[in-house]
Structure 1
């Protein structure tokens, strides 16, 4: 019960549109100090992450565990907390639910990228993966982009059907499908948010497709077919969430794509307005700066 109430309070302090705006403001200002995160393997498929960041006024550290074996077990794959501090006094001001922050800031970053890069940011959306991130992306795309129609796919059709029922309670059109690829012709927006232990998307895509690839965050993980990634590199555009993707974006690295020359989301936001049109792949790996933006917003909400 305590964990549930903490998650509910954290979610309430991070409304979708305000969170997108906070992330964008942080990137445009360029004030975040974010050292490399500590990624310590703790067992087979288990990792402990330590992710600090500061803007000189607020400091935070996210400490979370990732346990791949928990997928489908009823236990969360991500567990932990975000501690938020006042830099001037050193006082701890907040403790936020780590999985809730992770889910909401990740989906908010995808929606922010779609807002600036997608040819049709309010178009029908295919979400592959019906877990925590699938639900977060459905809610973020609805609130921030105005998406009203979703097609949902998962390894377990029952999971996709459960997410579709949740979507319909929000007044949305939603259907669960067994074959994600059959929906690609009808969905200009695509999100992959699976455990990234197998390829789940290989195309072909619409010429105006925007794909947010979220699940893979290590060099060994991937959700996208290598040929599809190369298609984006040769015939569309690839944008990464941060420069850390140079050593974390397994989808791109396993496809033999040089990540260093690719623009980041910050490059997009601080540069000239991007041209819309054509296929875009947004590769998200995660960054403590997103958690810092969430911490800043939650702190203002608490005040």
Structure 2
């Protein structure tokens, strides 16, 4: 059973993004719909299984938004990983760490394939766990050297700016996220998805990753922004499940089912490179991303212990 630090150590950013790309090329993946169980007091239990031909996993996490005000983690739980052939439980990973790293790694993969100016500057809206994960991934792999941070909490914004500086990037806290769009071709919206935080038009060379909203009633981007991105550039979703989950896009009246997915991008690399205009990447989450993390961890374990 691995804690947060050990789990993170087995999921380096570049390798995890590569594993996600490899998973999208794999025809032997099984990912049933996630089960979502509302709990008393406003919490939610998520059950997310997935498997390939050799690895099976189930992520069991709770989301408790009220914990933020109490200084406690809002996401808690585990990822249990099994060997398909033997049925043996091989490892239990820290659920929040897997969630944070695989979500940022999916955005990283999308930026690698689609961002017109992948080196930034990067605007991060939302200074929580996902904000930090996106800063770490984009600075380490894309070579971002300037980070702008916008958050409702001044203390959280400054803490994320300090973390970016510790990684070797310049960082500043900004009060107006919409105004910052004119200066940042790389954007990550990493809020809880309970309110719209971006409504202005981004640059024509912008790449915007929006990861906070994952139900039809949630949104962090305004309908007008989403409509403009669809008209002027390209909108890509992480999976086909976004057709009933991507609140930002659904509230904008977009036909989400007709939008290209990250799988399409990975399998048509040349077409992805030829796109012009701004890019909006909408990520809602998928157990396949957790499976990619599990595959990477098991491969590392097998390399460390030959003959197991």
Alignment equivalent of 1:148, drawn from 120, 133, 145: 145
Alignment equivalent of 2:38, drawn from 19, 38, 41: 41
The separation in 2 between residues aligned to 1:268 and 1:81, in whole angstroms, is: 30
The separation in 2 between residues aligned to 1:41 and 1:89, in whole angstroms, is: 34
The separation in 1 between residues aligned to 2:40 and 2:232, in whole angstroms, is: 40
Question: Is the Cα–Cα contact under 8 Å of residues 118 and 276 in structure 1 kept in the other structure?
Answer: no
Cα shift at 1:272: 4.6
Change (3 A) 1:204 1:44: farther
Alignment equivalent of 1:183, drawn from 155, 173, 180: 180
The separation in 1 between residues aligned to 2:29 and 2:184, in whole angstroms, is: 35
Cα shift at 1:45: 3.7
The separation in 2 between residues aligned to 1:9 and 1:179, in whole angstroms, is: 37
Cα shift at 1:144: 1.7
Between the two proteins, the alignment pairs up a number of residues equal to 300
Question: Is the Cα–Cα contact under 8 Å of residues 234 and 275 in structure 2 kept in the other structure?
Answer: no
- 2:109 corresponds to 1:112: yes
Question: Is the Cα–Cα contact under 8 Å of residues 233 and 276 in structure 2 kept in the other structure?
Answer: no
SS at match of 1:168: helix
- 2:40 corresponds to 1:50: no
The separation in 2 between residues aligned to 1:240 and 1:272, in whole angstroms, is: 16
Moved more, 181-190 or 10-19: 181-190
Cα shift at 1:276: 4.1
SS at match of 1:263: coil
Cα shift at 1:148: 1.1
The separation in 2 between residues aligned to 1:72 and 1:145, in whole angstroms, is: 34
Q: TM-score, normalised by structure 1?
A: 0.96
Moved more, 202-211 or 272-281: 272-281
The separation in 1 between residues aligned to 2:290 and 2:178, in whole angstroms, is: 33
Cα shift at 1:271: 1.9
Cα shift at 1:76: 0.9
Instruction: Look up the match of 1:259.
Output: 256
Runs of 4+ in 1 over 3 A off after TM superposition: none
Q: How does 1:1-303 map to 2 (within 5 A)?
A: 6-273=3-270, 274=272, 275-303=274-302
Question: Is the Cα–Cα contact under 8 Å of residues 201 and 228 in structure 2 kept in the other structure?
Answer: no
Deviations 1:211-262 (A, max 9, x none): 0000001111100001111111211110000011011001011111111000
The separation in 2 between residues aligned to 1:266 and 1:163, in whole angstroms, is: 31
Q: TM-score, normalised by structure 2?
A: 0.95
CA RMSD of aligned residues (A): 1.2
Cα shift at 1:9: 0.3
The separation in 2 between residues aligned to 1:135 and 1:150, in whole angstroms, is: 11
The separation in 2 between residues aligned to 1:270 and 1:211, in whole angstroms, is: 21
The separation in 2 between residues aligned to 1:74 and 1:36, in whole angstroms, is: 31
Gaps spanning 5+ residues in structure 1: where? none
Gaps spanning 5+ residues in structure 2: where? 303-308
SS at match of 2:162: helix
Question: Is the Cα–Cα contact under 8 Å of residues 149 and 173 in structure 2 kept in the other structure?
Answer: yes
Question: Is the Cα–Cα contact under 8 Å of residues 139 and 167 in structure 2 kept in the other structure?
Answer: no
